[in-house]
A and B are shown apart, each in its own frame.
Chain A
């Protein structure tokens, strides 16, 4: 059973930890976090669908990268903090890495257990698969 973890759990165990996730459609989502990154694997994400990633610690986002695993014309993947857009990437071509070139400074921090880190797909038709990497700074101890 996957449970929400504190940052202390992570540092004690020296491994990656699973994070609770949810997919609004019929695809899958898996998320793990390590010392400085959250890795998210998403399959079967169609326009209008989203995945929600629990937030097991207070953290600030430093970077947002997406490796696209399917080609879906006009597909956009948007990173949100609750209802607020942090960054949108045109992630539409297989085997292409898309890197954020801006982050909205007003929505970079997530609080523990708010569970409102959302990746939403829009544009195009059909399902997309993504590998998402978020570089983070643990601010829970600061």
Chain B
């Protein structure tokens, strides 16, 4: 049985240095939003850290509920991304897109990918601005969520959004993010711009 990372909500935040320290001691850790468990708008969600990766399985995702918000137990920078489309979505015109966003809204995603073909493996293309590493609203840094944000959902720090014309279908995806846990201090410096990120 995986260890559930619930400390962030029940026993204080899990610091990134704590995560790094524990990484050599834990096997696979799982976290989820305590207000929602492992489902979100009917989708089954399992998020696991393993080594340098955060892998998120989203199954039975009904496109009529196109947004999923995660709760991050620690701060991290996304350094690479891989999405496996197990069951695709459809669009009546154009392509169905998945946006991966370090915050709560669909704008300023650090990656947009087409999710219309089963079995495809889609890699980070460094599209958009996430290659710039210059902070601001389009950075690929995901700050730790705090409990009250999970209620309002206003500041969930990692979210997935489907978009497209005439979007339809119930899809399944695996999203693997290569991550680097960082300290809160670094997050603040980073968000102030690249001049402070050395």
Interface of A toward B, CB cutoff 8 Å: 7-8, 11, 14, 34-37, 62-63, 99-105, 135, 137-139, 141-142
Instruction: Please tell me which stretch of B12-20, B22-30, B140-148, B180-188 contacts chain A, meaning at least 4 of its Cβ atoms lie within 8 angstroms of it.
Output: B22-30
Q: How many residue pairs at the A-B interface have CB separations less than 8 Å?
A: 65
Interface residues of B in 22-51 (CB under 8 A from A): 24-28, 30, 46, 48, 50-51
Choose among A8, A37, A63, A138 the residue that contacts B82 (Cβ–Cβ < 8 A).
Answer: A63
0/1 interface trace, chain B 169-197, chain A, CB 8 Å (1 if under): 00000101000000000000000000000
**Once bound together, how far apart are the Cα atoms of A66 and B26, in whole Å?**
29
A142 touches B2 (CB 8 A): yes
Check B101 for interface membership: any CB of A closer than 8 A. Answer: no
Check B154 for interface membership: any CB of A closer than 8 A. Answer: no
Interface residues of B in 99-118 (CB under 8 A from A): 118
Taking the closest CB of chain A, its distance from the CB of B76, in whole angstroms, is 15
Choose among B26, B30, B46, B176 the residue that contacts A11 (Cβ–Cβ < 8 A).
Answer: B26
Choose among A7, A11, A63 the residue that contacts B121 (Cβ–Cβ < 8 A).
Answer: A63
B121 touches A101 (CB 8 A): yes
Q: Which residues of B contact A103 (CB under 8 A)?
A: 84, 119, 121
**Once bound together, how far apart are the Cα atoms of A135 and B176, in whole Å?**
10
Q: Which residues of B contact A11 (CB under 8 A)?
A: 24-27
**Once bound together, how far apart are the Cα atoms of A63 and B46, in whole Å?**
18
B3: nearest residue on chain A (CB-CB)?
A141
Choose among A7, A8, A99 the residue that contacts B123 (Cβ–Cβ < 8 A).
Answer: A99
Choose among A101, A105, A138 the residue that contacts B28 (Cβ–Cβ < 8 A).
Answer: A138
**Once bound together, how far apart are the Cα atoms of A48 and B119, in whole Å?**
26
Interface residues of B in 45-66 (CB under 8 A from A): 46, 48, 50-53, 55
**Once bound together, how far apart are the Cα atoms of A103 and B176, in whole Å?**
14
Q: Which residues of A contact B55 (CB under 8 A)?
A: 62, 137
Taking the closest CB of chain A, its distance from the CB of B57, in whole angstroms, is 9
**Once bound together, how far apart are the Cα atoms of A103 and B1, in whole Å?**
27
Taking the closest CB of chain B, its distance from the CB of A48, in whole angstroms, is 26
B82 touches A36 (CB 8 A): no
**Once bound together, how far apart are the Cα atoms of A37 and B55, in whole Å?**
14
Taking the closest CB of chain B, its distance from the CB of A90, in whole angstroms, is 16
A34 touches B51 (CB 8 A): yes
Check B127 for interface membership: any CB of A closer than 8 A. Answer: no
Given A62-B176, A141-B27; A102-B53 close (CB under 8 Å): no
Given A34-B51, A138-B27; A101-B82 close (CB under 8 Å): no
Given A35-B51, A62-B176, A105-B118; A141-B84 close (CB under 8 Å): no
A138: nearest residue on chain B (CB-CB)?
B28
B27 touches A62 (CB 8 A): no
Given A7-B27, A63-B121; A105-B84 close (CB under 8 Å): yes
**Once bound together, how far apart are the Cα atoms of A60 and B84, in whole Å?**
12
B119 touches A137 (CB 8 A): no
